Structures are given as structure tokens and as C-alpha cells.
Structure 1
Amino acid sequence: MKHFDALVIGSGQAGTPLAIQMAHAGYTTALIEKRAVGGTCINDGCIPSKSLIASAKTAYTVAHAPELGIYNTDAFRVHFNEIIERKRGIVSRFRNGSERSLEKTSNLELIMGIAAFSGDKEVTVTGIDGRQQVLTADYIFINTGARPFIPPLPGLEESGYLTSTSVMELDELPQHLIILGAGYVSLEMGQAFRRFGSQVTLIESKSHILDKEDEDIRQAVAGFLEEEGITLLTDARVEEVSRNSKQDIVLRIEKNGIPAIVTGSHLLVAAGRQPNSDILQPEKAGIIPDAHGYIKVNDRLETSADRIFALGDANGGPAFTHISYNDYRIVYRNLVEGASLSTKDRIVPYCMFTDPELGRVGLTEKEARAKGLRIKVARLEMEKATRGIIDHKPKGLLKAIVDEDSGKILGAALLCNNGGEIMSVLQMAMVAGFSYEQVKEHMFAHPTLSESLNNLFFSLEL
């Protein structure tokens, strides 16, 4: 049995910086990782997927270059294997950088293996060779993340499927990629593979895509995806999965109560994620997960067990890299620096990296109305925005939710080229407490995308 001051389980975007900073602060620290340093973001999520999306966006730009007067581009080819190799190189660069940061940190030990609680403040780690070691600590920090949820569909396991991880390790481009689910990952990957040349069909059991977004945003996204040739099947439930004599994937579905068959070369299951808490066995440390397996925490990220914290996807909060990193900052500053930070009322931004991009922050219109708030809604179609016209990027819209009484900005959805960047401008305005009038009257450089915020809020006065 070996004792540490601090034990961090999982090397994601909270675990790695937390372990390093705890060690710098004088705590003897161990960081346990079961697979690869960097967590989901570096190895399976943000970094690799956005690398593929960058290649797909370039393919689309070249294919549509004649619209801007550039010709002789119709013979371009997609070398899918080179796209995958580029992605792997980028992942390795980030992962190696994290590993080097850990290696050069004194007072910190990286332990590779699968961790599970075996008692109060006690963790048993099973290494790759099967050997076990028992570790104890004064403080334990859980950053175990989540994994793809695989629904219990008849025939799915036998027929084989791809996940958001394995789809980015394919040796060849799918002829017809079927995707279960129509959330952020599904739409990003669906558009990317369509732009590479795959036929793409998305199957969603609900009546619409992007369940958390407003209806006008959903319709706009569905519109440009269908315009690119992606088939969206909503109100469609998969009854059974199988393979035919040609080894194609065959899905027996029911759409609007009518039986149908969908056949493709590959199947990507992107039906959400589930926490890895079942592997961790938190009950043995006195921690009871919620009904979905997430570890419950208070607004200081403390679990029900003394001096045990849960950060990132493990605690069921918004599943974004920046949220995980912000969790680390809250825990570290409270514990080591004596701050009094919490997750209460923090403004959550996020992006969906389709093209155009969706940058989102704060409340949606439907959330604001459900709360009974008195609001005004500002809208500007990108086809009327100066930068949208200049760059030949007319798809999408800008939308902001404003408190009718105070004029404060409550939320925004920026569906446009580089939507995440302009979203960050409004996020800063919200943090500063600016009213929409202050943004409307602010002088932005011309002709920038941010300048469109003037016209967005001017629409409230028309």
C-alpha cells in the first residue's frame, strides 16, 4: 500500500492540469490513467474530430470554388488515408505534449492501469500485466470521463458498428455511412464524411434534430445539411440490425409508424455517452451515483464523501472540455488558494463545428420562455450580414435573447462562419453585464463578423 497527498483518477482536461498543479503546490501526487494521457478531448474527441472537419471544409471550399470565380478544381481528389494520418499526427503531438508535462513535474507519479475504489480513500489499480497495487490518499479527484452509449438493439453487436472513436480510424472512406442519432457529434461527422464523398443517412428517433436548440436553429441546420445531400430520417426507430449477403449493414426501422429498410456500408452509433463510474465502483468509497451513473456533486464539485471531488463528464455537468478545465480551476483554487469559487450561475458556452458553425451561450429562446421571462429576440439572417455576403457564406443566422426590462443579454445562438468566435464576443459582454444597447452602439472594425452584432441588436428597434 502506497500513500499520497492527492490522487487523481483520469488524465483528461481536468485531471492532468490538476495533478501538475497539486504537485507544484507541494502535494505528493499520483495520476492514474487506464488508456492514454489526455482523455477524450485529445484522443477521441475535440482534437481528432476537428482535424477531420478541417480537411472536410477544405474539400467543400475547393468543390465550390467556381462560385467565387476560381475554376479547374473539378478534378481534385480526397486521399482519405492521408487525412487520417494527419489526424493521428496531430493527436500524437498533443498527447506527447501532455506526457512531457507530466514527466518533467517533480512530486508527481503517472500510473497506468484501471482504478477502482476498494475502500474509504483507497483505490486499487490493476495494471496492463494484471498486477494490482493499493493506493491511499488524503484527497481524491475523479476525472474518469464517459464513453459512447451503445443501445441494446437486436442484432447490433453481431452485425458490428463504429463509435465516435473508431470512425476516425477507418482505413477507407465509407461508401454509405448510416449514423444513429442526430446530436452534435452525429451532425459534425455526418457533414464531414459527406464532404469527403460518402453517402450519409442520419436516423433520429425524435421528431427533430438537436433537441436542446430552438426550432429556427434546428431548421436552419437541417436545411444546409440536406442541401449538401445528407438524408435526415426523423421519427425513425431502429427495430433490428443485420448484415445481408453482400455484408452490407441493414437496418429495419419504423418511420412514422411505417416499416422501412435502410442499407449502408458502415454504421456509426452516436446515441449519446455514459459515464465510466461503473468501472470505478464509487459505492465502495461511500459515493452513490445518480440513476444514470453520474457522480453527484455540489456547486464546489465535492461528492458526498469527504475530500473526494468529481470533475468533468464524470459529474454529469455539461460535457465539454472547457467545462472540465473550469472544474479544475474551481477545485484547485478553492483547495490550495483558499478561494470560494463555485459552478453556480456560470455562463456555459459551447460550439457545434458544422459548417456553418453553431456558437451557443446562455439561454435559448425556449428555455427563457419556459422560465416565464419577459424577453425580446434579436435576429439577423447571414445573407443580410456584410461579412456573410463578402465571404460568400450566406447560410445561417444570428440570434440573441434579451431581457425586456433590463436589456441584459441572456443568451445567443450564432449559426454562421466562425460562429464560435463571435459567440465569445457576446459571452464577454454577458460576463461584463453589458446591455444589448451597449453592444449595439459599440464600434467594431469593418468589415468583421463581430460588426454584425450592431445590426443584430438594431433589429430590436425596427
Structure 2
Amino acid sequence: MIVYAKQTDMKHYDAIIIGAGQAGVPLAKKMAEAGKKTAIIEKRLVGGTCINDGCTPTKAMIASAKAAYQARKASELGIIISDVNVDLKKVKKRADSIVKMFKGSAEDGIEETKGLKLYMGEASFASEKEIVVKGKDGTTETLTADLIFINIGAKTIIPEIDGIEEIDYLTSTSILDLEEIPEHLVIVGGNYIGLEFGQMFSRFGSQVTILEQSPVILSKEDDDISKAVTEFLAAEKIDINTDVKINHIGWKGDRIETTITSGKKDKKITATHLLIAVGRAPQTQHLHLENCGVETDEHGHILVNDKLETNVKGIYALGDVKGGPAFTHIAYNDYTIVYRNLIENTNLSTADRPVPYCMFTDPQLARIGLSEREAKAQKLDYQVAVLPMKNVARGIETNETSGLMKAIVDAKTDKILGATILASEGGEIMSVLQMAMQGGITSEQIRYGIFAHPTYTESLNNLFMKIHQ
């Protein structure tokens, strides 16, 4: 336990928010606007991971990668482009400019909010409602509050692999600093982050090798979805290795050599760059939660109830730090629940809220509700509707025929239990089905619904035709 010296010049606030991410910033502003004297503490960058080195820059760069890919395949549409070159510095400059704009907006919002004070530094608990903020210059300030909200997010997990500390590996943060396209990029991890980066750099011109320890990539998805993603990535000449054990990583001259066992075969892969993308862990180790009594699980995630309050009254956790779905939109929804309950006296909870998500490969993988595997595990009485994108008029017309649409429907009520959309603009199509689920609309109503032609959403008629002939 860290014991801090008592200070007599403590600053008291009504509310303290630790972390200026996608839940922290709007919550801090709203608390201050409600008349509460509020402090927000950020150790790195206002805006959190999403704005600075997550959603915003990666999706901007993915858009550049898609433009390069479409230019190369434009001849299929009768458009001849003789040469396609990628200027990664310019790609990065554009992404950085968007990050700067979003981050600046967040900073301005904090600065312009009366009753809200920003502290730049690392926060840790000295006691139950007492926070020490250590600035980059080594100075400390002590703050107290009756309400404390923890929104500190997560960081990249670095697996224990023999030799890994001896090489210059990349993370999802540091890879965004590259200004030259890797000749050969090895990615450790075949899930959402790794696959987005893999396809993006492949389209920029890198040779890409993906190493995944599970028998398939995207092991949390249904087998047919995993297979379809594997197929379209392989079609872009991305080398996917599953059932992999990494035995050693080390230097071979100026290159990185990875020794693996895949299935029963041993092989060595020599590459110029290596990205670690095996998952993320909560950043709770420096909070010294032992000083305030807040409980965590074995992984360091802060435990909360369905109102997002910890076991210590008046201390809340929002976003990735509490475990569960690690998505920006979930963090933002956490903020709305906490704020409305505390300030507007509502009685909202996280119980049974929808958890949509989207992987921004091309085509996109979007999910809402139950997968077929989950429905089967729960022994539900369900029906499955599947429609390949090669049978979707809009996909054929735009030359976007990779992927499929899949929905799980309650056999008795005809209500939609879940959907997975692997398609161009899959996230937008999924959102239509999410609204149907929230509104209790049946698959039969969608089957016979009227949608504008020719749109992707119109193809939901055909998807549910599999159930309602």
C-alpha cells in the first residue's frame, strides 16, 4: 500500500472525473453545468484512446487504404487507373489533422465550461475520497470529492513470449507513427484490431502475416462468419496462420524473426515489423485502489453494479476499465446512465442494454444481439436466416459482393434475437436491425416492409424471405 503524506491545502470538489475519454469529458461538462464544482484529471491526452490513437485515426487511415484498393480494382468497373501509389506521410497527415480537430474540440469544451477544472497528471487514491495528482514535472496536488468517476480505459497487453523484450515491436498506438510502409508486417493476434490493421497495411502495399493462437480468427464469432472473413482476407493475399504457438521472437540481422509452431509444423517468419494485437488490459495498476477499497476482478477490471457504482458508495467506473464490452459507444452510454441517474433522478441501468459493434475491415463486420452459437448454447428455439452478399442487388451493382447477412429469429415470437452483417456498410445495415429489435418489430414485418430500391437495407426483405417464403 502506498501511503501519502497528509496535506493541509487539499482542494475539494463536488465531483472528480479521472480520465478525459469518451465518457469522462461529457460527464465532467454535464456535472459542472448542473452546478457541481468539478475536476477532470488526464495523464496523457484529452479525448482518450478513441480520438487520439483508436477509432479516429485508424478509421481515417482505413478510408485511405480502401481508396487505394478500389483504385486498383477499378478496372472491374471499366475504369482504368494505370498506377496507384500510397503516400503514407500524407495519409498520416490527414489522420493527424482530424485527431487534432477532435481533440481540440474536446479541450475547448472543457476550457469553456464554467466550474470545470482540468488537471494534467497521473491520479491515484490516497484514501477513499482523496486523490493525489502527480504532474509531469513531479509536483503533486491533493483533491477530494464526494463523487468520483473512473474513466481511465485500457492499454495493450504485451504477451509473455521468449525474446519479445529484445525487439522493437509495435502496438496499436505506436504503429500510427510509421511514415514508411512496412515491407513485411507480422501481426500477433487475429481479432478485431489485428485484422483491421492487417487489411489496411496490406492495401497500402505491405506483405502481411497474421498469427492467431486459436483454431480460427475471430473465435468469438460464428464459424461461418469467421470463415467468410478468412476468405476475403486470403483473397487479398494476407497470410493467416491459426492454431499458432509462438516459441521465440528475436533479431536476425536488421529483421525480426518469429519462430512458431502452427498445428504440428514448425516454421520461421522473417519480417521488417511486428505488431502486438492480442488484447487490452485495464489501466488500474497506478490508481492504488487498495487505498480506497474499490474491488477489482483478477484482471484488474473495476467491479461495478448495474448503475456503474463500485462497492464504495460515491465511486463509479465507466468505459473499458470496468470490463465487459470495450467500445467507445458503450463508454458514452455509461456516461448518460450515470449522469441522468445522479442529476435527473432517473433509474437507468446497464441491464439488457443493446451492445452493437462493428469491425471496420472491408467488408465491415457488424453485430447486435445473439450469435447462432450463443442462441444454441442458451437452448433457445430459434430460426436462422442467411443471405450471401453475392445475391444482393446493391452489392452486385457496386461490385461489393463479399460477405453475408445473418439473423437469428425467435421461432415462437418471430422477434429478432441477433444479427451479424458482413457487408459493405455493414454497420449501417446492422443499426436498422438493432432499431427493429428495440422496437419489437418482427422478421415478418421486415420481410414485407417497403424500403427504397436499390439499397442495402432493401435486401432485408430477401434475408427474411428465408423464414417467410
Coarse TM-score class (shorter-chain normalised): over 0.9
**Corresponding residue number in structure 1 for 2:371:** 364
Q: Distance in 2 between matches of 1:179 and 1:14?
A: 30
Q: Identify which of 13, 32, 36 aligns with 1:23.
A: 32
For residues 228 and 283 of structure 1, the distance between their equivalents in structure 2, rounded to whole angstroms, comes to: 49
- Does residue 155 in structure 1 map to residue 150 in structure 2? no
2:435 alignment counterpart:
428
Give structure 1 regions of 4+ aligned residues with deviation exceeding 3 angstroms: none
- Hey, what does 1:112 align to over in structure 2? 120
Aligned partner of 1:392 in structure 2 is 399
Q: SS of the counterpart of 1:277?
A: coil
- Gapped runs of 5+ residues in structure 1? none
- Tell me, in whole angstroms, the C-alpha distance in 2 between the residues paired with 1:170 and 1:278: 29
- Of 339, 343, 351, 1:332 maps to 339
Amino acid in the other structure paired with 1:438:
Q
How does 1:198-213 map onto structure 2 within 5 Å? 198-213=206-221
Percentage identity across paired residues of the two chains: 53
**Which residues of 2 match residues 71-90 of structure 1 at below 5 A?**
71=80, 73-90=81-98
CA shift digits 1:126-151 (9 cap, x unpaired):
00100011110010000000000001
Q: Does structure 1 residue 268 correspond to structure 2 residue 275? A: yes
Deviations along 1:414-449, one digit per CA (max 9) or x if unpaired, are 100000001000000000011111111111001011
Equivalent position amino acid for 2:159 in 1: P
Provide the residue aligned with 1:44 in structure 2.
53
**Length, aligned pairs only:** 460
In 1, Cα distance between the equivalents of 2:155 and 2:113?
A: 29
Q: Does 1:223 align with 2:231?
A: yes
User: CA contact under 8 A between 2:382 and 2:408: conserved in structure 1?
Assistant: yes
Q: What is the CA–CA distance in structure 2 between the aligned matches of 1:76 and 1:262, rounded to whole Å?
A: 28
What corresponds to 2:308 in structure 1? 301
Q: Distance in 2 between matches of 1:257 and 1:38?
A: 45
Query: 1:403: which partner in 2?
Result: 410
Residue pair 2:163, 2:249 contacting (<8 A) in 1 also: yes
Partner of 1:35: 44
TM-score by length of 2: 0.97
- Deviations for 1:103-138, whole angstroms, at most 9, x for unmatched residues? 100000000000011101011110010001111001
- Equivalent pair of 2:447/2:468 in contact (CA under 8 Å): no
Deviations 1:150-196 (A, max 9, x none): 01111111112000011111121100000000010000000000000
Match of 1:287 among 294, 299, 304: 294
**What residue in structure 2 maps to residue 444 of structure 1?**
451
Partner Cα distance (2:365, 2:297) in 1:
31
Q: Distance in 1 between matches of 2:282 and 2:324?
A: 11
* RMSD of Structure 2 on Structure 1 (CA): 0.7
Offset at residue 211 of structure 1 (A): 1.4
Alpha-carbon separation, structure 1, partners of 2:205 and 2:77: 22
1:182 equivalenced with 2:211 (yes/no): no
Find the aligned partners of 1:383 and 1:257 in 2 and give their Cα distance. Answer: 36
Distance across 2 between alignment mates of 1:365 and 1:388: 24
Corresponding residue for residue 5 of structure 2: none
Cα distance in structure 1, aligned partners of 2:153 and 2:342: 22
Any conservation in 1 of the 2:444–2:468 contact (CA below 8 Å)? no
